[in-house]
Structure 1
Amino acid sequence: VKMDEVWTHQEYVTCIHPGWTIRSGWPAVRDSWVLIFNNTFSMKFELSDIMVQVAGDMAWVICVENLVTQQAEEPQQAKILATNLYELIGDEWLMIHHHGSPVMG
């Protein structure tokens, strides 16, 4: 899973997908992404409204994920307001938190 490369594999990582309860710890976070990718035939997204802030060894990105997914016959479109937190570990920025909320309307 490509998510293995962008997340730190620590117990303090957290992930909240739209409509889901919080997933805590790398195994639970990874399993949530595996479940999503295994149950989605195709997924394409473009980011918009991107805001980035860096403070020391922490960074956060707030953006809108414009998703087009296909699980059955008809493609589904959604806008997700996402907050991603990153920690500088060595020379790599690795994700420690993702929170996605649906944009209604």
Structure 2
Amino acid sequence: MVSLTDTELVEKANTAFYETMERGDFDELSALWLDEGVTCVHPGWPVLTGRGEVLRSYALIMANTDYIQFFLTDVEVNVAGDTALVTCTENILSGGPAEDGGELGPLVGQLVVATNVFRRTSDGWKIWSHHGSPVLTETDTEEDDNSPS
């Protein structure tokens, strides 16, 4: 049997985090987090501290998101002892509840840069902290500068 390196195990845990959100499996998502000392920052949200507060935020997101898909790019994994740091870009496609009885609300794309911190436990690598920040697109200011006053 081929054993995976720590880096491969952390990358697998990171992928499971996003796949679990895509499936909307709250119980599985809950099992991926450490029991104590966790923090989370969703784009535009304040810092959430403690397992209960963090998991409530995911329950709220899942309840209000009918469809979400993550395409991860720029994934970097660094392991130091029992702690691992993963940085990546979340290319997100999501849709909320439909209006007027349709099947799915409009799909929206978003770029978020994320830092996920994992700790090694007897049950494998668990999420200690997640921090997502939106990538702000640059506006075309050159056109504005050349417009007549």
Range of TM-score over shorter length:
over 0.9
Per the alignment, residue 83 of structure 1 pairs with 115
SS in 2 for 1:21: coil
Query: How far apart, in 2, do the equivalents of 1:90 and 1:23 lie?
Result: 25
Distance 1:9 1:40 in 2: 25
What is the match of residue 104 of structure 1?
136
Q: Percent identity?
A: 38
48, 51, 55: which is aligned to 1:30? 55
Q: Structure 1 length as normaliser, TM-score?
A: 0.95
Corresponding residue number in structure 1 for 2:71: 46
Tell which has more relative contact order, 1 or 2 (C-alpha 8 A, sep 6+): 1
1:57 equivalent in alignment to 2:82: yes
Q: Helix, strand or coil for the counterpart of 1:3?
A: helix
- What TM-score comes out, normalization by structure 2 length? 0.68
2:92 alignment partner AA? L
Distance 1:40 1:6 in 2: 20
Code of the residue aligned with 2:61 in structure 1: it is I
Larger % of helix: which?
2
Structure 1: gaps spanning 5 or more residues: none
Please give the alpha-carbon distance, in whole angstroms, between the structure 2 residues aligned to 1:27 and 1:3.
Answer: 13
Residue 70 (str. 1) matches residue 95 (str. 2) = yes
Q: Which runs of 4+ in 1 moved over 3 A?
A: none
Measured in 2, the distance between the counterparts of 1:24 and 1:77 equals 27
Residues 3-14 of structure 1: matches in 2 within 5 Å? Answer: 3-10=29-36, 12-14=37-39
Q: Over aligned residues, Cα RMSD in angstroms?
A: 0.9
Question: What is the number of residues matched between the two proteins?
Answer: 104
SS in 1 for 2:46: coil
Rounded to whole Å, the distance in 1 between the matches of 2:91 and 2:31 is 22
State the Cα distance separating 1:91 from its structure 2 match.
Answer: 4.5
3-state SS of paired residue (1:18): coil
Q: Distance in 1 between matches of 2:123 and 2:50?
A: 22
